[in-house]
Each structure stands twice: as C-alpha cells, then as structure tokens.
Chains A and B, each alone.
Chain A
C-alpha cells in the first residue's frame, strides 16, 4: 500500500493537501468573481451593463481591481494604533476562509483506489468505510464567525477616526444581536439531526432521493437563519457598519491598498461561507437526485445551490433600502429572537409527540 505515515497511507496526506488547496482556491476565485458577478447582476437589474472594458464582457475586471489595489499606497494614519490597525484586516479575513474547512462540499469520491470524502477536515475509516469529521462542526463555524467581528471592531477602534469608530460599534452590536437568532435557528436543526457534525447533518437530508432537505421541515428556521446571516455579513439591507451615505465607509474608512482589499475579500468570503452553510444546513448540502450514485454530481449540486444563494443576496441588494440602526436592533431582538425561540419550542413539542 505504498509509504505509510502514522498508520495512514501517503495518499491520504496528498488528498488532504489537495482538498485544502482546492477549497481555498474555490473560495478565493469565487470571492474574486463574486465581485464581478455582483457588478454584472446588479448592473443588468439596473438597466446598465456593468464592467465591459477589461477582457471579454469585463471578465478580467476582478484581476485588474486586485492589481490596482495591490499597487496603491499603504496609508497608516499617524494617530492610529499601528499594530491593531495592521492586524485587524487579517483577523477579519482568516476566519472567513477557515470556516470552509468543515463544510462538506461533496460525497465520497474514489481516486486511484482510495476513497476520499469531499470535506477538508475529515477522513475515512478504511475498514468500516465510515467518514469522520469535526463532530462539533456547527459550533466551530459559530466560533469562527464571531472571531471575524474582532477584526471589524479592532479596525474601527484602531483607525482613530470617528466614522470608523461608529462603524465598528454598529458592527459589533449587529453581529452579537444577530448571531443569537442565527444560533437559535441552528438549534432547531440540531434538534432534528441530533448531531453537530455537518457531514451527518448532510447525510440525514438524503432521504426522498436526496430531497429530504431541512428547509421543508424547518422553513421558518431556514428563513430566520438566512436573514440573520445576511445581517451578520453586513449586506444590504443590513449594511449599516459601512453605510456609505451615512458613515462614509464605516470601519474601513481609513484603510487603503491591500488592507482594504482584505476587508473586501473577507466580506465576500463571509458571504460565500454563509451561503455554503445555509446550503449545508437547510438545502441538503450536496444532496440531490442521483448525487449518491455519481459523487461528482453532488459537487455540482453544492456549487449550484451556493451560487443561487449568492445570487439571491445580490438580488436583495439591488432591491431593498437600508434599515436604521435602532430599527435593526428592534428587528433582531424583538422580532427575530422571539420567533426563533418559539420555533424551538414548537419543534420540541412536535418532536416529542412524533417520537
């Protein structure tokens, strides 16, 4: 069986590195082209064309933007707290990418006689054929997404600018409030699945030829989770922390060059993560008709669902105005939180009687 390290064949290590690279590149490319897609989609919704000049129909635009930002001057305000100012974009960006480690993006594929599960943080037990992944995957994601907020708060505080400070304050208040409702929405999924492992959650949605999705059992939770997630990633109509017409650019007002680009990438990476998580929890992950027969079809289903949700986010952005700060808090604490609590109670009662 070739060379073995720590009792596992070499192939597993190669597969692991390959999965990390593929997942990373997937997120990175999607981030780049999500900006392009956003400009194109919103452009067409607003009877204009979006980028057209760089490459065929502007296809090279994200690369041009990246290069431009890369060559911009790095400005650090003289009154800023330099260390925190520099570390903030990193703290914002890294967790956004790390979340993707536990999301299963496909079933088990076979390469050169080895079975490889399509999830970064997982391995397959050769003897039993059982896939093991992080058994607290959902908690890990919640932890990572709350870590990202430190980057934004720190950016707001370290910039030593009033607009940034207010952007940071808004962001922290918003994230804490909406994480609560998002967490409670996940709890109702957890009550159905009885596990926190994302792989297990996906497997449980494979009934009815891959259409036993939790969105049909928990439509309210799915709705709540998606709303709260949009709020958590600061997108319209909850884009208060960087509300351009109010706070200039919010927490990233003082940032330039690559540091700004990192916040920008973090925003889009978060959007992809959230869409991937919604897909995993409510839309059956990679499940779909015949996905168990052809594992690569599962990959296609997963990507298609994620892209549809991303499109939905952009659609919302083109349609809705922005909430006011207190209205946002009101919505989070007095509307969404009670609904998600009631949803848990109802799920509990129904679950008790069915079992």
Chain B
C-alpha cells in the first residue's frame, strides 16, 4: 500500500514572486496547498519606534519608505495626521498639488501592480509596457522633488516648494495618453483566454470575510464592498472631485484586476479635474511656529536662518491629544495614529499598513488551490513588504 506524505516547502524570502522578502511556509499535498503561513519581518526598520525619537518634521522622510511604490501617498497620510493634530489649514494650491500627486502615485503603484501581477502569471510583455509608463510618473517625481522614489515632497503645512512651470503640461500629457496605454494592457490581458483561466474564480474571498479580515482598498472593492475613503471620508479636498468607485461582483482575482484598471482611469479623471482647479498662490501656510521659512529668507537673512535652525533642530510642540487619519492608499487604508504628550516628538505613532492587514487573508484565499494560484493571489493582494514590516 503506497503512502503519501505532505511536503513542506519554504517559499521565500528569496523567491522571484514573493514581492520582496515575504516568506511563506507552504504545506503541500502534491501541488495543492493545504496551509500557507506567511512569515514577515525581514525588512523591519522600526519606523514606529524611530518616530518617537524624532521631531514631527524629521519623521516625514521615514514615511517615504513604508510603501515604496506610493511614497507621496504615505507622506500625505502622515502630514494630514499631524495637521489634524495641530488643527491647521493649508493653502488651496498646496492641497490641489497634493491631490494630483496622490493620484499620480496611485497610477504608479497600480502600474507596478499590473506589471508584477502579469509577470507572475507569465505575461511578460505587460510588465515592460507598464514600466514604460511608470517612468513618466518617476520623471514627474524627479521634476518636482528631485528624487524618483523617496520624494519627501510634502511638508506639514503644505509643500516643500512650488512645482516648476512645466509640471502642469507634463502631467496633463501623461493623463491624456494613459487611457490608451490602459487599453493596450487590456488588449493583452482582459480577453486573453489563458489570463481568464488563471484569474476568474481564483483567490475568492467573500464580502463578509473581507470585512472580517479588515481588508481595504481594491481588494475589498473587488469583493463587492462599496467603500472608498476618498469618497466616504474625504480628505485633502477629494470631495470636490467627481469620480466613480468601481466595485467587483465575483470576489475573485479577475474582479480585483478590473477594479484596479477602472481606478487607474478614474485617477486620470481626478488629475484632470484637479489640474483645472489649479490656481497660483502660496504652497506653504503661514504658521511661523510650525512651517519652515522660505528658502530665500534662510539664505539671505540671519533671522530666516535662525528661524530655519529652530524648526529643524527643535521642531514644534504639538498639543496634547491623539489623532487618527486614514487615507485611501493605492493598496488600501493607510492610517496614522499619533499620540502626543505635548512635546515636539510623537509619544507614540502607530501605522496601520494596508498590506499587513490584507496579507492575513492569504491563507484563506489560497487554501486548496495550487502553487500557481498562490502566486496569483500574492499578486492580486498587491502587498509591499516595506509597509508590512515597517
């Protein structure tokens, strides 16, 4: 009588499709997954703890490195949380540019998602195509902040500087060609029988389960839950823009794929509307206690230099209290919970990373399926390890 044994397979942290350093311990019966246990922590940098020893301004660069595919949206979540704590308003122009860049970031993050997701399933060409478009977003990043990934462009109270004059044209050109590129990807994937075979009915998670697991973002909307913080709990002026929130029906990988594609088209529309409402004006509020002085003052007057030095070295005291600000990151709800004891550093900062919460569902979504399906599930959850491990 032949006996069969279960096989334990260690997938990662060095593996081509675990998106960084995710480690999964799989229990396999042949190719069928009985249990998938994620092991995390290979990219832990202690962002939350570090922030307790840094002033509010100094914590900002750390947030770039959370979800490194959506740096500006992380910045946005953090600055909004601090501004809420301080209860300050920012100039109109700064807010609009923030929204434009947040949506550009959404496009960028989704482009990397479609690239890697398609590559994981074997469609190599989409990968290169999507990276071609991502390059334009990166150039825009470089144009306004000087850096391609770790932009650190937003400031508490506004932006670090105004955007250069060519910014508007570059973004407008990009969002006008983007829908055509999206059609290109869809032409390669949406009606491709092999793509449909691989994604329809794969990684199903019901709406109730998705809510129970705390899944947010496109993964939640793919399961048919109509929930988007940009519309349901607006921040940074999102209530001014007209956009649709796509919702899936069948709760599978294909629906999540469709949701993200529609989101990219909607992001283009939001950017266009925001560009229309972009008016000249200041980009940093006038709160001398909190905001950095303009650079020309710093370089040309001793008062400005002292002002800059005080804020850079000492920061500003924040009122005692606690505050939570969630933003609709490309991957889900990114939340910053800050407790202040009245000092110039957060007493405690807790980050709610969407990838970390979404990752929990991997076992449920992959149980009973095959290794190839697991790879598709990792892709469809769109996790980023920099955010999971923090």
Q: Residues of A with Cβ closer than 8 Å to B?
A: 42, 45-48, 162-163, 166, 236-237, 239-240, 243-248, 317-327
Contacts and interface: CB of A to CB of B under 8 A. Distances in A.
Q: Which 6 A-B pairs have the closest CB atoms?
A: A322-B122, A245-B17, A46-B128, A321-B123, A321-B122, A324-B372
B53 interface: no
Contacts of A47: 128-129, 132
A337 to B, nearest CB: 18
B12 to A, nearest CB: 10
B122 A320 contact: yes
B375 A317 contact: no
Contacts of B15: 248
B373 A324 contact: yes
A325 B373 CA distance: 10
A51 to B, nearest CB: 15
Interface string B98-129: 00000000000000000000111111110011
B129 A236 contact: no
B17 A246 contact: yes
A245 B370 contact: no
Contacts of A323: 194, 197-198
Nearest to B373: A324
Contact of A324 (B123, B189, B192, B197): B197
Interface of B: 7, 9, 15-17, 31, 118-125, 128-129, 132, 188-189, 192, 194-195, 197-198, 370-373, 375
A46 B122 contact: no
B124 A246 contact: no
Nearest to A162: B9
Given A320-B194, A323-B197, 5 more contacts: A46-B129, A162-B9, A236-B124, A248-B15, A323-B198
Given A45-B125, A237-B122, A320-B123, A245 B197 contact: no
A295 B235 CA distance: 77
A173 B371 CA distance: 16
Contacts of A240: 372
A244 B128 CA distance: 17
30 contacts: A45-B125, A46-B124, A46-B128, A46-B129, A47-B128, A47-B132, A48-B128, A166-B31, A236-B122, A240-B372, A244-B16, A245-B119, A245-B375, A246-B375, A317-B124, A318-B125, A319-B123, A319-B125, A319-B188, A320-B123, A320-B192, A321-B189, A321-B195, A321-B198, A323-B194, A324-B372, A324-B373, A325-B372, A326-B31, A326-B370
Contact of B198 (A162, A319, A324): A324
**Chain B interface secondary structure, helix, strand, loop or mixed?**
helix
A240 B198 CA distance: 13
A316 to B, nearest CB: 11
A321 B192 contact: yes
Contacts of B372: 240, 243, 246, 322, 324-325
A326 B16 CA distance: 22
A245 B122 CA distance: 8
B125 A248 contact: no
A317 B189 CA distance: 14
Interface-central residue, A237, A239, A246, by most chain B CB under 10 Å: A246
B16 A322 contact: no
A319 B188 CA distance: 7
Contacts of A237: 122, 194
Contacts of A246: 17, 371-372, 375
Interface-central residue, A47, A48, A236, A324, by most chain B CB under 10 Å: A324
Contacts of A327: 197-198
A303 B372 CA distance: 37
Contact of A239 (B7, B122, B189): B122
Nearest to B372: A324
A325 B16 contact: no
B9 to A, nearest CB: 5
Contacts of A326: 31, 370
Contacts of B375: 245-246
A321 B121 contact: yes
A244 B372 CA distance: 11
B303 to A, nearest CB: 53
Contacts of B121: 245, 321-322
Given A324-B373, A326-B370, A243 B129 contact: no
A321 B194 contact: yes
A240 B121 CA distance: 11
